[in-house]
Amino acid sequence: MAAADGDIQEELLKLAQLAGLSQDEGIRAAIESLPLLPSPERQRTETEKLMKYLSPLAAMRVWNGDAEEHPFLPQPEGEELPEFDVLLGLIDDLKVGVKLEDFLTHVQVSGPTKKGKTFFILSQLRQLIEHGVPTHIFDTQGDYADLLPSMCPRAKVIRYQDMRRNPFEEPPNLTQDEWLQHVTNYLRECFYYRDGVVNLFRSLCTQLREQGLKFNARTFVEEYRRVPRTVRREADYFQSLGRFVTAISNPTYQCESGFDLRMLSTEPVVFDLSNMANDWRLFFIADLVTWHHASRTYRRNRGVELVLVFDELSHFYSEEASKRSDLGEPFILQMVRESRKRGLGVILADQVYKNFHGTVRANCQTKVVFETIDGPSRIEVGRDLSLNQEQQEFLSELSFNVQPQRRVLVQIPTYPKPFLLIIPQIEMPDSRQVYEKPELEWVPLPEKEEKQEKPQHDEVSHEMDRYLATVGCNPLLTESECDALVKNYDPTHNKTRGTNIRKALMELGLLEEHKVPTMKRGRYYKVPVPTKAGYERLSKRKIGFKTLEGNGSVQHKFYQRRVKEKLQKQGLYAEVEMILRTKQVDVGSVKEGLLPRRVAYEIVWDDDLDKELSNLEKNAIDGWDMTVFAVQNEEMRDHLNAVLPDGNEQVEIRLLRELI
């Protein structure tokens, strides 16, 4: 047989495949034995025979494929469908989509894992962003954080560690009381709090307000620790409220006012929450969503101002909470019900249709249903979209015989019946970067001191107790700073009295004095600190003292505090022993903004320069933009300078005295 005959064989095999007979042994043998036939004549006649047999079969099957019978026929025709802004998919060559306003009546997407829900939503987001509609995605799996920026370079990804938010700050249109009412509601939902705990929360807030203090996570936590727990019942409430206190002790909330949420809501933003623990995550989202919801006034005919995306809906509310009558309606359901007239659109997705709450189903007028294998869900879809038995069953084979392999059932607000759509293939740019996700890190609260029975110090006078409490509540002050504080509430106090009281407390073993070298040789700050017995005495009297922040010696802690305070005075957010991912730094500061700038301060106390070099490296890996080494004197500065790598712009050496 000639070379061209190989092609003939191949063509016949293709034809057999189209005819559905590629596995038929007789046909295969006939095609394969063609070259073995004795004469070209025989070969030609056999080929013709096979062609004659296979062609009509193949043609019939191809034709059947084109005009596939399915129970949703007839599909809508071009002129029946309105114009659109955002493409959903195709019916053959006909493009079908929805208007921007249709997002205000919300979109619900369901389908088993890996069917393409996330990709479908990404394609919607890309188009919304191109139309200038801001979108906020609460991304619990990190998919959107990975993929959206490569589709829309304008989209910003904010890791929750980088977010700065004061949950006590009310939106501009609400009074503080109104906002606290909202906060109370979502605290109930996020932490399952009952009335007792909620009342405790409110009473702490009232106390803060009465003291005229700024309302933020820091002042709240301080108040929580300061207030004595007198009754047993109350102690339980305090313990429950501890979960909220731990949540707001996260760096996200350690700021005066945080990001400008109004500005943020004009941008496409992915909140990457993939590393966040469940109940904190719910709290984080509840706070932001409630803010967006409450900050917008209710008005008819609003355009779509912001689209919120909740993929994997089950992460955003708990069935348990929605059933408990004392908790009220979960924030997400309330939002789906009321957000339309506030200009908020919502896209919700879940794997199981059956899991969508009735409120969600009733309020989402655009529904996208991927191939649904689970029977109960098919029945529910059937009920919600008025499908007949045959249509319902067809939901399990939506993607059979379809190229590319994704077809969905959709219901849109502007067409009376549901119909089938092909989802176009999405090409991802190759340069997609997959980054390693950082470990989950939390800044734990200090352990509560254990309370024990301890000996009475009868000789302790009222004045001495007060002095001890002042030192305990204001750690790491110098002697003269302590005296000045006491003078605030006791004008007769003076330096000599201070010296005498300290001496008496030291003799009783309740106080000790640490000498911290100043930058001038031979001179010291004297820093009084309660002893273990001193702290025990304070806790027995229910004085909410503060433990010393920082690590290492009292001297080291003293300078950590000084550096922190200086930074705070400059208006920066600063924290001792701050941690971004893996390792604490002596003092960390963050300048707030969409791209926060993070500076780590390391106080160089001894001559261990290798340790400092390794700190430098680890800090850069952890995400600090700059490491500042604070050294005691010029000599140390020169030593360090000699070992630092040249040309590293992420490091600076400063004299400690300039930083305090």
Binding residues (CB under 6 A) for ligand ATP: these are 111, 113-119, 351, 406, 423, 425-426
Under DSSP, the state recorded for 439 is: P
C-beta closer to Mg ion: residue 118 or 254: 118
Task: Select from Mg ion, ligand ATP, none the partner in contact with residue 43, using the beta carbon and a kind-dependent cut-off of 5 to 8 Å.
Answer: none
C-beta closer to ligand ATP: residue 124 or 318: 124
Please state the closest distance from residue 268 (CB atom) to ligand ATP, in A. 19
Angle between helices 331-338 and 176-191 (to 10 degrees): 130
Task: Select from ligand ATP, Mg ion, none the partner in contact with residue 506, using the beta carbon and a kind-dependent cut-off of 5 to 8 Å.
Answer: none
Please, what sign has the CA dihedral across residues 530, 532, 537, 540? Answer: positive
Q: Among 110-118, 253-261, 431-439, 649-657, which window interacts with Mg ion (CB under 5 A)?
A: 110-118
Task: Select from ligand ATP, Mg ion, none the partner in contact with residue 115, using the beta carbon and a kind-dependent cut-off of 5 to 8 Å.
Answer: ligand ATP
Please state the closest distance from residue 100 (CB atom) to Mg ion, in A. 24
C-beta closer to Mg ion: residue 313 or 574: 313
C-beta closer to Mg ion: residue 118 or 584: 118
At residue 611's C-alpha, the angle toward residues 610 and 615, to 5°, is 120
Task: Select from ligand ATP, Mg ion, none the partner in contact with residue 192, using the beta carbon and a kind-dependent cut-off of 5 to 8 Å.
Answer: none
Name which position in 47, 108, 118, 470 contacts Mg ion (CB under 5 A). Answer: 118
Please state the closest distance from residue 395 (CB atom) to Mg ion, in A. 19
Q: Which of 429, 375, 354 is nearest to 122 (CA)?
A: 429
Site string for Mg ion, 39-68 (x = CB under 5 A): ------------------------------
Cα 589 from Cα 37, distance rounded (Å): 86
Q: Which residues contact 544 (CB under 8 A, 6 or more apart)?
A: 225, 226, 227, 228, 473
CB 631 within 8 A of CB 656: yes
Burial of 496 (C-beta count, 10 Å sphere; 0-12/13-18/19+): exposed
Please state the closest distance from residue 362 (CB atom) to Mg ion, in A. 24
Cα 89 from Cα 412, distance rounded (Å): 12
Q: Which of 257, 311, 394 is nearest to 119 (CA)?
A: 311
Helix (H, G, I), strand (E, B) or coil at 509: coil
- What residues form DSSP beta bridges with 579? 584
Site string for Mg ion, 429-468 (x = CB under 5 A): ----------------------------------------
Please state the closest distance from residue 314 (CB atom) to ligand ATP, in A. 11
C-beta closer to Mg ion: residue 111 or 258: 111
C-beta closer to ligand ATP: residue 106 or 117: 117
Q: Which of 197, 634, 145 is nearest to 438 (CA)?
A: 145
Nearest residue to the partner ligand ATP, using Cβ: 116
Please state the closest distance from residue 143 (CB atom) to ligand ATP, in A. 6
C-beta closer to ligand ATP: residue 402 or 473: 402
By CB under 5 A, what part of segment 176-235 binds Mg ion?
none
C-beta closer to ligand ATP: residue 117 or 159: 117
Q: Which residues contact 134 (CB under 8 A, 6 or more apart)?
A: 265, 266, 267, 268, 269, 305, 306, 307
Per-residue 3-state assignment (H helix, E strand, C coil) for 213-240: CCCCHHHHHHHHHHCCCCCHHHHHHHHH
- Site of interaction with Mg ion (CB under 5 A): 118
